[in-house]
Amino acid sequence: MVDANNDIIVLQSSGLFDDVINGVAPNTSFYANDVEYKYGYYLVEGIYPEWATLVKTLSCPDDEKRLYYKKKQESARKDVERAFGVLKKRWSVIAQPLRILEKSKIRNVIRAGPMVLY
């Protein structure tokens, strides 16, 4: 639970959603149930705040369709966590606290990491 509390503190003090707030986030629009969403979202555990861009797992799915959704969502979240673990091992710059970089450089480091995999 210590890590979870730390995640929330980091989330609330970070500039993760600055681009969305400032209207300069990459356009990652998609459709779900005939509704267009302009920005992406993050798959999170139930402890995170109720923000539109944070999608939590269903706590008590009451039918097969929702149970299937819950399993797929949890699987996707775990895949992302594993991938980030691999990135942290490969590039120590994202495993350690960043102390000397300004926000724009931090964004570039985080965005460039996955591109190096291609």
Domain of 36, in residue numbers: 1-56
Q: What is the DSSP string of 32-69?
A: ETTEEESS--EEE-TTS---TTEEEPPSS--SHHHHHH
51 plus 14 within the same structural domain: yes
> What is the residue whose two structure tokens read 């959603």?
17
Q: Which two tokens stand for residue 16?
A: 């993760």
51 plus 85 within the same structural domain: no
Strand partners, 31: 36
Strand partners, 54: 42
Q: What is the rounded CA–CA span in Å between residue 26 and residue 51?
A: 19
64 plus 117 within the same structural domain: yes
25 plus 79 within the same structural domain: no
66 plus 12 within the same structural domain: no
Taking the chain, what is the end-to-end CA distance rounded to the nearest angstrom? Answer: 34
44 plus 64 within the same structural domain: no
Number of domains in the chain: 2
50 plus 66 within the same structural domain: no
6 plus 48 within the same structural domain: yes
Q: In tens digits, what is the pLDDT along the chain, a chain of 118 residues? A: 445 546 677 677 777 777 777 777 777 788 877 888 877 777 787 777 887 778 888 888 899 999 998 899 889 888 988 988 888 888 776 667 666 667 777 777 666 655 544 4
